[in-house]
Chains A and B, each alone.
Chain A
Amino acid sequence: MATALAASAALAALPLHPHLCRRSAPPRRTIRLSVIASAQAQPDVAPKVVDRFSAFDRVSVLAEALPYLQRFRGKTIVVKYGGAAMKDESLKARVVSDLVLLSCVGINPVLVHGGGPEINIWLNKLGIEAQFKNGLRVTDAATMDVVEMVLGGRVNKSLVSLIQQAGGAAVGLCGKDSDIIRARQMVEKDIGFVGEVTSVNPSLLQTLVADGYIPVVATVASDGNGQGLNVNADTAAGEIAASLRAEKLILMTDVPGVMRDKDDVSTKFASLSIRECKELEDEGIIAGGMIPKVACCIRSLSQGVGATHIIDGRAPHSLLLELTTTDGVGTMITG
């Protein structure tokens, strides 16, 4: 694990060669990833690791990551980004640098994001009262406008610009663009413009990925008649992963993963099968907010996604750790 941490740190601290960043038309701007990674990382983590190792150590650890990088090279990895990792600027920068790194080493990340807290802030500013029904947000026409503006405009573009600053090439989209996500209004639930995904058109995403861009997708869907629909970001990420037949779906959450005792990190499951998930659900160990996350994982696994991961978005470099270590940092769910 120590080696793995060092590997991730070494990878993250490595200045990226501009020609590796995009396969077509390498950008001429200078790459600032290393600056960002060291300047914004928590003082007790990244700099320490980097200081502790000599240049040779860092290169050796980097070389050790080779088998993992080879295993995922050319593969698509869909990352659902949300929760605390989204609110905290330094976490945000770290997630972004991990994504750019993956993209630079030939892995194809696709970022899918929600943005509940940000939506609340803006609803508040506009004096629109948030309504809930059975724990679900009621999205009326005015709220839907705000959802679309905040997710597609503010949250989406801020992620795009962070990726650009880190030396990646991001394209921000919402589900409406080229009908990436089509949805039908869940009329039966009577909670307004909330949609269930009916189809995903992956062709635009495939085009972008093939050219080395990192697509950043806001989960506002089209209903085919011009009405935008708010869809759950976990579900949307799962369906996008299924449509791209992704190698991995990674859900970044505010918990370390699936745990037997939710207050004890040492009881975290490193990996689970669908069967084990169902059994844990029957036992009441998978409960509450974890149920829809696990259901989303199973739903995409059944459609051919290689593996799904529930990881702690708050942990430093959790993306890299999950991908480049055998134990990982979250819970991997496989078919």
Chain B
Amino acid sequence: MAICTVYTTHSLKSTSSVSTPTKTHLGFHQRQVIFYSTSKKTDRRGSSEISCSAGEAKTVVIGLAADSGCGKSTFMRRLTSVFGGAAEPPKGGNPDSNTLISDTTTVICLDDYHSLDRTGRKKNGVTALDPRANNFDLMYEQVKSLKDGIAVEKPIYNHVSGLLDPPELIQPPKILVIEGLHPMFDPRVRDLLDFSIYLDISDEVKFAWKIQRDMAERGHSLESIKASIEARKPDFDAYIDPQKQYADAVIEVLPTQLIPDDNEGKVLRVRLIMKEGVKYFSPVYLFDEGSTISWIPCGRKLTCSYPGIKFFYGPDAYFGNEVSVLEMDGPFDRLDELIYVESHLSNISTKFYGEVTQQMLKHADFPGSNNGTGLFQTITGLKIRDLYEQIVASKTSAPLEATKA
């Protein structure tokens, strides 16, 4: 919320009405100060000063990095669902807009900051992964503006035509999610993020997922899918992958270790790597915080079919940072397994018992709902809600303490 203070240095004669902040259709506050003064402007000294502390209207900014076809949109749908309300494209705008808006959350796709359109990239022989194809100055300016509560006119990159369409107006939301290939690439943008997530899909799983996605498509063959992954790999390794060292949470998706030589990509080993010491974020743990634990929940209390489920939890180092790792290998067969698992996890930031299970049930048809990807994405969503609530609470309590003093 914008805190504006008006100092009127003199004159009881002047009737000044200060209208702050203006309510937008999003129910959020825009920093806009309209100052009316009905007194004759003869007395120069009778001026009024308005000071707005920009820091108070702040939007919480979350960054999500992942390659295309790695489940960003599924994660986004799970995340917005945690905050309630359906996320929809802006009403009445460009039908090819990449933006999703719900009551609390606005998700913008960073492809909209491409500086080169499809023909431009072809002409220059660069991919969308290349920093030269992206306008980081504009990305920084607009994310900064939104964070400070100012609406922006953001371009739209049309994925079907490959062209940059006329811009759309984005209002500052409570929570802004920037998702795409480079949310943590530019240090200025990275510093604006309150929390960052990297979806790290191993090459084997990426290949299996793209086969599932594309094989039915006319023209695609195993060769063309493989060639597309290979061609993009050098740029991916150079510009996208290094961003994971800056992420507060990394979700790693790997082939299972429960079935020897499995390469179907159906049974997955998923690791949630959580950075320690991040403000407003306390990592999830299994049984005992800081211990190293391997847990197979299948047994007398829980029947699992082949290949079963295996959990791992423990401290580790990741790019020189201290992290906690929670790992799940294997699929869920039935829901009672999930509630049993949920009841043994701590620090999951749920508001009631069974909330993780309930969230997963809501979207049982999403990809990853029967394995660790869905579980860890849901938990990350709850951690973000918790982080958001703590940030808001600390912001509102700070000015209150100041007035008390």
A, B in one complex? no
